[in-house]
Chains A and B, each alone.
Chain A
Amino acid sequence: MIRALFVLLALGWLVFALSGYVVGYDVLFVNRSSVTYFFLMLDNGTLIPLVEPPPHYLVGTGERVEAELVFTEVGVKARVLAPREPTQAIPRRPVSGPLLVTLVAARLADVSAEPYNMSYVHDVVFGPFPSMRHFWEYMLGGAVIIRPYYIHWRWLTLPRTRAQYCDTGDAFGSITVDVLNALYNTAGVRLPDRSYLVIVLNAQPPCYSGAAGMGTVGFGVFAATYGTVRIAVTQYYHYADWLTQVPDVDVFVHEFGHNLGLHHPGTLVEEYDNVWDAVGDSGAFVRLNSWLGTTRYYIPRGLSLPHLYYLGVGQFVGSGAGSWLVGPRSGVYLSASDGVYTVEYKCGGVYEQFLDWCGVVVHRVSSSASGRWVFFHTVLNVTGQFVSPVNFLDVGQSARVAGQRVSVLWRNSTHARVVVGLPTLADVVGANATFVVGSGAATIDSVAAVYARTVFSPTATFTLPVFHFEISNSRTLFNPLFAYLDDEQWLAQIRYYVDFAGVRRLYPVRYPGVVVSVGGPLANSLTRALNPPDRPGAGGLPFYFDTAAWGIRDARTGQVWRSRAAVVAVVPNGSRVYVLVWGLSGEDTRRAARWLAECVPPRAYAVVINTTDFRVLASWPSGLVGASVCPGVVYAAAAVVGANAASIDAVGAAMAAGGLGLLDSEVAFGSLPPYVFSVGGPLANSFTRLYNPSDGLGFGGLPFYYSTSRGGIVDGRTGALLCTSNCFVVAKLIDRGKAVVLAWGIGGHDTRAAAAYLHYYGRSLLDSRTNTARVVSWSYLSRDGYRYGLDFTTLATWP
């Protein structure tokens, strides 16, 4: 009886909690036919056949899906459940088909000015990018066609003055009715029900002093002389003379958004505070090509996912814990007691490209009956009047949303990988990363970062040049570093916000990226902060270095490993995700990084591995102990650093390449891969010294060398001293069919800058089929005390 109860409970758990990943394989037959089998793969690797083909976009993507068990005649199978649509919590009112828009420019009776010609008015509303029509047709993915129904190609004179309209008590309604009647009386035009009317006015009625525009949310009711019409109306007021030169496309788009049923999606504090949504305040001045040549526009920069979903375009790929790929029109949602939270990614797109940053943003959808129902959610706890430009997650950043941790691990210009819940080792593979080593660590510790680099993408992300007023200096790559010492100042990504006093403030954050901290707690202070000796680490990480036992201890079992062991762990902490890679010795650390490079990590938060055979000795959570799956890897590159070089040389190597991480004493030329990056100067790296010795010409006549007597880099062709500080040599030399790439500077920071140069500008050098070299000077880009990038100037080239 009890056993049966347990079986029932287990079955119940399976039915309600089954989740995994959709995988498949093809069988090709000799008659050229094929069949594809699909499976649900559980976290422990179990494959359950699917009863029916899954949606193609789920196959092999690593998206976590929910599934149910189905009992068939041939056994138990699984059926993938579609992501649950939050139909009750997030409203949906799709709009499609042609939207008929009537456009009128109207002159108030007491103001004679006609500030815009009709071409201007027409183009702002109906023209090509950027225009009201283009924005909404683009954002809604072609679901709507905004058709001009009638354009009144001259200014219409209204019968009443500004004051008289205000005296009616409803200037908006009175102007609308007068326009409807004037169109009917002068042109015989009756507006169809459920069409749209855009009225451009030449001034502001005093009761709307300070207003840029007004719009009906949805369709209003207006009584024209020919009958009552239900139409959506927007009115635009000439609020500043600069508008004659700078079309405010943003306000036209914004008001039409109201017509489509949208309301302001700002924060709880400020309803317009949302740079990511046109119905917030997403405007920016941008100079663009136009039929006038170049025109400065004020344009909107996007639309939030709840609004896209409402209009029938946005989609949710899932909800709750899992690893999700979110894009410009798709995201995930999290249910909470105070509403539904949506997570989306904004970066590329016709309008989104003008956002100052790329980021994952969160909105809360409320079910309240006030006008506003979408609220921008602040994820970084920065408050003020205008904080939406700050409160987003770039790669490697993490925040708690609706009681769950949301982490961004990877992104490109259109999509981002978001993990809801604690990320696992399997999730972080491929993440955009930043590498940190101990400044005093042994080189062998630090060169491990080169191995780690093979499974992570570098974090090359955007920032602002501290102050920006025009798009010409907006989000840009300033060659940021993604390899640091534990004790140094990082470059800063600069964001801005406006505080409660209305003062514009900078918000610098360390350059984003999942931080891969290489080296143990005794060698690397960042590792020590997160995973200190003699006690469990951040977030309950159970593996730590036990100084008494001189080994790695598992706090749950007390088990200790005293040799050939290493810890690899994912640790979300604060607003950042960290990956710790450290072993009992430097070689163990390097082997741990090599395990990451060559093996498939399990869906665990942390493991202890045997560094000889890569067996998983312990896992957190438990249950994933055993041999690692290591399909192998072919290294195309190696980085060589001096065995006794400074640690910054080694971590700098990770800026240049991912691959084999070797010490100069370990090099066997015949077994090197095709590309060999030798990082560090002739005094620090004997392999570099072979090709580029001090005080004389190098391999193949390489003319640039370090002069020990003059303390700088000399051009052997002229004898000129090129530089004595803040400069480096990069060279590509062809030796016995291999490309030997040198990167070395006067000091360690110069050497790292050389590696950074190779990452950002090395393509032409690396593609060269003959020996070539450059001497480059470099400096930090900085302003207001913040370093935000690197700048390079070429001093000499060879040949």
Chain B
Amino acid sequence: MKFGFLVLAVVVALVVAAVWLVSAPRESTPHTQQPPQNNSPPTTQQTDKTPQQPIEVTWQGYIYSIVVDFVDPTSGRMTGGYTEWFFGLVNGATIRLDLTNATVRLRDHFAIYVGNPDRPVYVRGVWNGTVLKALEIYD
């Protein structure tokens, strides 16, 4: 009985700690902060994991995209496509990026930064474990 109570207490403590870790607000210190390990998928293959509680983060990395080009199979003409955005983090992880509501405050044209490891940026946004919804992008 005593042993069971002890186990229960440890489990409760772990749950409380986990909830605190996930939900606690974080200050951004752009030049030093690394993505928390629990929120930074190590490879692009793991970005589709189960969504988690959204948190606001500021991470450093570089932006790149993948363009899909559709074609009319008879004529060879390209007929449409879409662009997926990614964020390569400084620790080597890659996550999906949503630029829909992003405010860009970059010194140079945005096209200079895309796919350019030499021009890292900071992205402040909301990370839900799957996609980083960018709010602000700056040098």
B116 and A219 form a contact (CB under 8 A): yes
A272 to B79, CA, bound (A): 7
A173 to B80, CA, bound (A): 21
Q: Which residues of B contact A255 (CB under 8 A)?
A: 67, 69
Q: Which residues of A contact B108 (CB under 8 A)?
A: 91
A215, A221, A230 — which one has the most chain B CB atoms within 10 A of its CB? Answer: A221
> Would you call A152 an interface residue if the criterion is a C-beta within 8 Å of the partner chain's C-beta atoms?
no
Contact of B44 among A90, A92, A170, A271 (CB under 8 A): A170
A370 to B69, CA, bound (A): 17
Chain A 210-233 near chain B by CB (<8 Å), digits 1 or 0: 111111111111110000101010
Contact of B99 among A220, A259, A264, A370 (CB under 8 A): A370
B64 and A218 form a contact (CB under 8 A): yes
B102 and A258 form a contact (CB under 8 A): no
> Would you call B81 an interface residue if the criterion is a C-beta within 8 Å of the partner chain's C-beta atoms?
yes
A397 to B116, CA, bound (A): 41
> Would you call A281 an interface residue if the criterion is a C-beta within 8 Å of the partner chain's C-beta atoms?
yes
B67 and A212 form a contact (CB under 8 A): no
B115 and A261 form a contact (CB under 8 A): yes
> Would you call B109 an interface residue if the criterion is a C-beta within 8 Å of the partner chain's C-beta atoms?
yes
Q: How far is the CB of B117 from chain A (nearest CB, A)?
A: 5
A281 to B43, CA, bound (A): 33
A93 and B66 form a contact (CB under 8 A): no
Contact of B64 among A88, A211, A219, A298 (CB under 8 A): A219
A250 to B76, CA, bound (A): 9
Chain A 608-633 near chain B by CB (<8 Å), digits 1 or 0: 00000000000000000000000000
> Would you call B68 an interface residue if the criterion is a C-beta within 8 Å of the partner chain's C-beta atoms?
yes
Q: How far is the CB of A13 from chain B (nearest CB, A)?
A: 33
Q: Which residues of B contact A248 (CB under 8 A)?
A: 76
Contact of A208 among B68, B85, B88, B102 (CB under 8 A): B68
> Would you call A721 an interface residue if the criterion is a C-beta within 8 Å of the partner chain's C-beta atoms?
no
Q: How far is the CB of A194 from chain B (nearest CB, A)?
A: 7
> Would you call B9 an interface residue if the criterion is a C-beta within 8 Å of the partner chain's C-beta atoms?
no
Q: How far is the CB of A18 from chain B (nearest CB, A)?
A: 31
- Are A215 and B67 CB-contacts (below 8 A) given A220-B94, A373-B111? yes
> Would you call B139 an interface residue if the criterion is a C-beta within 8 Å of the partner chain's C-beta atoms?
no
Q: How far is the CB of A247 from chain B (nearest CB, A)?
A: 11
Chain B 63-106 near chain A by CB (<8 Å), digits 1 or 0: 01111111101101111110101101000111000010010101
Contact of B110 among A246, A250, A272, A368 (CB under 8 A): A368
> Would you call B114 an interface residue if the criterion is a C-beta within 8 Å of the partner chain's C-beta atoms?
yes
A213 and B65 form a contact (CB under 8 A): no
Q: How far is the CB of A166 from chain B (nearest CB, A)?
A: 12
Q: Which residues of B contact A298 (CB under 8 A)?
A: 76
Q: Which residues of A contact B80 (CB under 8 A)?
A: 272
Q: How far is the CB of B64 from chain A (nearest CB, A)?
A: 5
A173 to B68, CA, bound (A): 13
Q: Which residues of A contact B44 (CB under 8 A)?
A: 170, 173, 177, 221-223
Interface size on A, residues (CB 8 A): 58
Q: Which residues of A contact B78 (CB under 8 A)?
A: 212, 251, 254, 272, 281, 283
A220 to B93, CA, bound (A): 11
Contact of A214 among B66, B110, B114 (CB under 8 A): B66
B45 and A217 form a contact (CB under 8 A): no
> Would you call B112 an interface residue if the criterion is a C-beta within 8 Å of the partner chain's C-beta atoms?
yes
Closest partner residue, chain A, to B70 (CB atom): A210
- Are A230 and B65 CB-contacts (below 8 A) given A173-B44, A367-B110? no
> Would you call A168 an interface residue if the criterion is a C-beta within 8 Å of the partner chain's C-beta atoms?
yes
B77 and A281 form a contact (CB under 8 A): yes
Q: How far is the CB of B51 from chain A (nearest CB, A)?
A: 13
A264, A371, A373 — which one has the most chain B CB atoms within 10 A of its CB? Answer: A371
A219 to B43, CA, bound (A): 15
- Are A210 and B86 CB-contacts (below 8 A) given A170-B44, A272-B80? no
B86 and A218 form a contact (CB under 8 A): no
Q: Which residues of B contact A364 (CB under 8 A)?
A: none
> Would you call A172 an interface residue if the criterion is a C-beta within 8 Å of the partner chain's C-beta atoms?
yes
- Are A177 and B115 CB-contacts (below 8 A) given A216-B64, A264-B81, A367-B109? no
B67, B102, B104 — which one has the most chain A CB atoms within 10 A of its CB? Answer: B67
Closest partner residue, chain B, to A284 (CB atom): B76
> Would you call B30 an interface residue if the criterion is a C-beta within 8 Å of the partner chain's C-beta atoms?
no
Q: Which residues of A contact B86 (CB under 8 A)?
A: 220-221
- Could you list 23 A-B pairs, sorted by A, with CB under 8 Å? A91-B109, A168-B48, A169-B48, A170-B44, A170-B45, A170-B48, A210-B71, A211-B69, A211-B70, A211-B81, A212-B71, A215-B67, A218-B114, A218-B116, A221-B92, A221-B93, A222-B94, A232-B115, A263-B83, A298-B76, A369-B110, A371-B67, A371-B85
Closest 9 interchain pairs by CB? A218-B115, A91-B109, A212-B71, A223-B43, A221-B88, A169-B48, A228-B92, A369-B104, A240-B73
List 8 additional A-B contacts (Cβ < 8 Å) besides A220-B86, A369-B106: A92-B112, A172-B66, A215-B69, A217-B115, A221-B64, A222-B94, A223-B94, A246-B76
Which of A's residues lie within 8 Å of B, judged by CB? 88-93, 168-170, 172-174, 177, 194, 208, 210-223, 228, 230, 232, 239-240, 246, 248, 250-251, 254-255, 258-259, 261, 263-264, 271-272, 281, 283, 285, 298, 310, 367-371, 373
